[in-house]
Chain A
């Protein structure tokens, strides 16, 4: 079976707001799949549905053939030990320092001795360039650094898949380049499956094997990066090229600009 995750007929609401409406989506094993879409369309929500932090209104999320929303807590936790997730905000535990944050999953789920834990943690921290920051507290990190620590934490248990929520936002060009390479090499060498949520079209196109663009609760366009280059959909072309004009409107619906500015009561 080549798909690690198969989403079928997924629908989800926040209150009355429809976030997903009957979405089908596949994540191929061992590949990097990118999810793109305008801000606020539900990319983070999709990751939370895949990891069963949220429950869909209807539809299935099959992970290795099992519907993750049917699992009991014990089985779900077993599954999650094999899923890493990089949160948009980093979500480090604020009362632990960087080292302990990365060591946390090891201490919780393994019986490794202190020497081994130190060894593993330092390797992961080195990979994200923050070995020197091991003793800092999360409050002493910048947003981009916090997210890199969170990445080290997400990979410390050597999961089978990782979900990255906006890994590149807040990174300077150098860290960004390193991160892109890191994600790519980890995916290829560690037998990982990666899901990347990102707005950075150019960077993601360079490493992704497959791209989904979602908007308004549906999948607007999908395909390999070269295929999307050639897309005939005006919508997808506007999104990928970042053009201000086209079928997608940059402005929230509003009355005519001139009338609004010079209107007198």
Chain B
């Protein structure tokens, strides 16, 4: 009897330990966020720190967003046309492309690309700084790494996400336009007019903006925390970078469902 209990304990023990470790990490990530918030006022005193990061986090991601947006828009044009033409309503292509991009694909795909490009870079950068004692060195020079390093990066990620999503949607709409109007012969005026008529600023556009604000917050938080909390070795950085992309992507997809449900509920 006792040996059974021992076996059960052996099986569930590691599970419990894993649970405790994950909860501890969750707690640390919350404390981390708190310290980031406390440090944000400092960034307003040193705006160039933020601008530098805006460049490396935001501007360097634009090209990827541009290319991805174009292709996603073109596919939407193709698929949309082929579905709509069955119902003789290909003139609504503009509505379909516009709504899909602004409400869903714009924020979501941008966030996923952001996690892969900017998020992983942030994680690796902080992980490397930790491994090479740079955080300790800053501390010893009486410089708070949260104020100097982490808060500016957080703000940069937070602010660039909605802008990147807007660029993605805009580029995508032109991609759909190119395929639908130029290649497949949808009426030029109808494409724009239908879109203008049915995409509502508050209902649709702002919903997309809210989503990308939330995604920007979460994806940047995860990327920075994974880097700051990484095991300070080269494998540790590698693992943290992978984790950062995976966790941020999953969080974005799950949050997208919750946000969509909430928004449809309240509209």
Tell me the nearest residue of chain B to A165, going by C-beta. Answer: B133
Of B136, B138, B144, the contact of A73 (CB 8 Å cutoff) = B144
Tell which of B136, B141, B144 has the most Cβ of chain A within 10 Å: B141
Q: Which positions in A face B, CB cutoff 8 Å?
A: 48, 51, 53, 73, 77-78, 80-81, 83-85, 87-89, 91-94, 104-105, 108-109, 150, 153
| Whole-angstrom distance between the Cβ of B38 and the nearest chain A Cβ | 10
Complex: chain A residue closest to B129, CB-CB: A94
Partner pick for A94 among B134, B136, B139, CB 8 A cutoff: B134
B142 neighbours in A (Cβ, 8 Å): 77-78, 80-81, 108-109
24 contacts between A and B (CB under 8 A): A51-B140, A53-B136, A53-B139, A77-B142, A77-B144, A80-B139, A80-B141, A80-B142, A81-B141, A84-B140, A85-B137, A87-B137, A87-B140, A91-B132, A91-B136, A91-B137, A93-B138, A94-B128, A94-B132, A94-B134, A105-B141, A108-B142, A109-B141, A153-B141
B20 lies within 8 A of chain A by Cβ: no
- Cα separation A205 to B144 with both chains bound (whole Å): 37
Please classify how large the interface on chain B is, using the bins under 10, 10 to 19, 20 to 34, 35 or more.
10 to 19
Which residue in chain A gives the minimum CB-CB distance to B56? A95
- Cα–Cα, bound, A85→B137 (Å): 8
A93 contacts B137, C-beta separation under 8 Å: yes
Tell me if B143 is interfacial: C-beta within 8 Å of chain A.
Answer: yes
Report the Cα distance A94→B137, complex, angstroms. Answer: 12
Q: Which B residue sits closest to A146, measured CB to CB?
A: B132
List A contacts of B141 (CB < 8 A): 80-81, 104-105, 108-109, 153
Interface centre among B132, B136, B142 (most CB of A within 10 A): B142
* CB within 8 Å of A: which B175-193 residues: none
Having A53-B136, A87-B133, one finds 5 other A-B pairs with CB under 8 Å, namely A78-B142, A85-B140, A89-B133, A108-B142, A109-B142
Q: Give the complex CA separation of A85 and B136 in angstroms.
A: 10
Q: Is the CB of A89 within 8 A of B143?
A: no
Q: Which residues of A contact B144 (CB under 8 A)?
A: 73, 77
CA of A73 to CA of B139, assembled, Å: 10
Q: How far is the CA of A78 from the CA of B141 in the complex (A)?
A: 10
With most chain B CB atoms within 10 A of its CB, the pick from A84, A89, A91 is: A91
Q: How far is the CA of A153 from the CA of B128 in the complex (A)?
A: 20
Q: Shortest CB–CB separation between residue B8 and chain A, in angstroms?
A: 26
B66-89 interface (Cβ within 8 A of A): none
CA–CA, A148 and B111, complex, Å: 43
Hey, which chain B residues are within 8 Å of A78, CB to CB?
Answer: 142
How far, in Å, is A144 (CB) from chain B's closest CB? Answer: 16
Across the interface, name the chain A residue whose C-beta is closest to B148.
A108
Closest to B52 in A: A95
